[in-house]
Structure 1
Amino acid sequence: MYEVLLVVYLLVALALIGLVMIQQGKGADMGASFGAGASNTVFGAGGSGNFLTRATAIAGTLFFALSLVLGNMTAKQAKPDDQWQNLEKPVAEEVQQPSSEKSDVPTN
């Protein structure tokens, strides 16, 4: 379930980026109001403002909601304790004890 939501989250993020990049700035509306380029629009003479604005709002809402759901799911996942267990061992236990064979170094 987590992986499916993560893929949907990625697709919504890409859609949101695309929708924002497609939209025109406020200065571009001046030329369209006098008829310049209105016949070349895909969404009609009224422009694509309403459609793109609504689609961006829906994608933004989905992005926000999926962020909350994925964050909540991640916070509730159990973290394995054994991942950091080796840090709890004292250093003296990790050092290999010398063998019982005779060595050249005298011990006191």
Structure 2
Amino acid sequence: MEQMILILHVLAALAIIGLILIQQGKGADMGASFGAGASQTLFGSSGGGNVLTTSTSWLVALFFATSFGLAVIAKNQSVAVDAIDVPAVVESQSASEIPAIDEAAISQGLSDDIPVIDAPAAASDSDIPEI
């Protein structure tokens, strides 16, 4: 049932997108007043505004209904927080299990990979002029 509602939901969304892209804006009727609009319309000289607007409204209502249905299904399948077994206290690791710096690796020469911070430059070496 959920899969069928989900497929209907996606199809309604794609149909809404298609119908919105087909519709003309409010400023598109200005060319028809100068005699250039009636020959290129799909639904005749009166235009298809009413048909497209009505079908878009029905698809939006269907999209809302499928969204609401999917939300109800998701709520019914959810698990209450009290039903989940979560331990009250998480056991902490002992100090011997916590990783630490390997002193032997540092003494063997791996410290060359660690950058050294030089001493701050003298005031005369700075590019910033003094005030």
Fold match (TM-score > 0.5):
yes
Aligned-residue offset at 1:10: 0.4
Is this contact kept in 1: 2:13–2:63, CA < 8 A?
yes
Aligned residue pairs, count: 92
Give me the whole-angstrom Cα distance separating, in 2, the residues matched to 1:50 and 1:35: 21
Give me the whole-angstrom Cα distance separating, in 1, the residues matched to 2:55 and 2:3: 25
1:9-88 equivalences in 2 (<5 Å): 9-79=9-79, 85=85, 88=87
Give me the whole-angstrom Cα distance separating, in 1, the residues matched to 2:21 and 2:65: 22
Give me the whole-angstrom Cα distance separating, in 1, the residues matched to 2:27 and 2:62: 29
Once superposed, what is the RMSD of the aligned Cα atoms?
2.5
Give me the whole-angstrom Cα distance separating, in 2, the residues matched to 1:88 and 1:8: 41
Percent identical among aligned pairs is 48
SS at match of 1:54: helix
Task: Identify the range of structure 1 (36-45 vs 12-21) with the bigger mean alpha-carbon deviation.
Answer: 36-45
- Write out per-residue CA displacement over residues 37-57 of structure 1, whole angstroms, 9 at most, x where no aligned residue: 311211111111111111111
Give me the whole-angstrom Cα distance separating, in 2, the residues matched to 1:32 and 1:64: 35
- Write out per-residue CA displacement over residues 6-49 of structure 1, whole angstroms, 9 at most, x where no aligned residue: 01100100111111111111110111233313112111111111
Give me the whole-angstrom Cα distance separating, in 2, the residues matched to 1:91 and 1:70: 36
Aligned-residue offset at 1:63: 0.8
The answer for the alignment partner of 2:100 in structure 1 is: none
User: What TM-score do the two structures reach when normalised by structure 2?
Assistant: 0.60
User: What TM-score do the two structures reach when normalised by structure 1?
Assistant: 0.71
Give me the whole-angstrom Cα distance separating, in 2, the residues matched to 1:94 and 1:71: 41
- In structure 1, runs of 5+ residues without a counterpart are 96-108
SS at match of 1:35: coil
Task: Identify the range of structure 1 (24-33 vs 71-80) with the bigger mean alpha-carbon deviation.
Answer: 71-80
- In structure 2, runs of 5+ residues without a counterpart are 95-131
Structure 1: which amino acid aligns with 2:25?
G
Larger relative contact order, structure 1 or 2 (CA cutoff 8 Å, min sep 6):
1
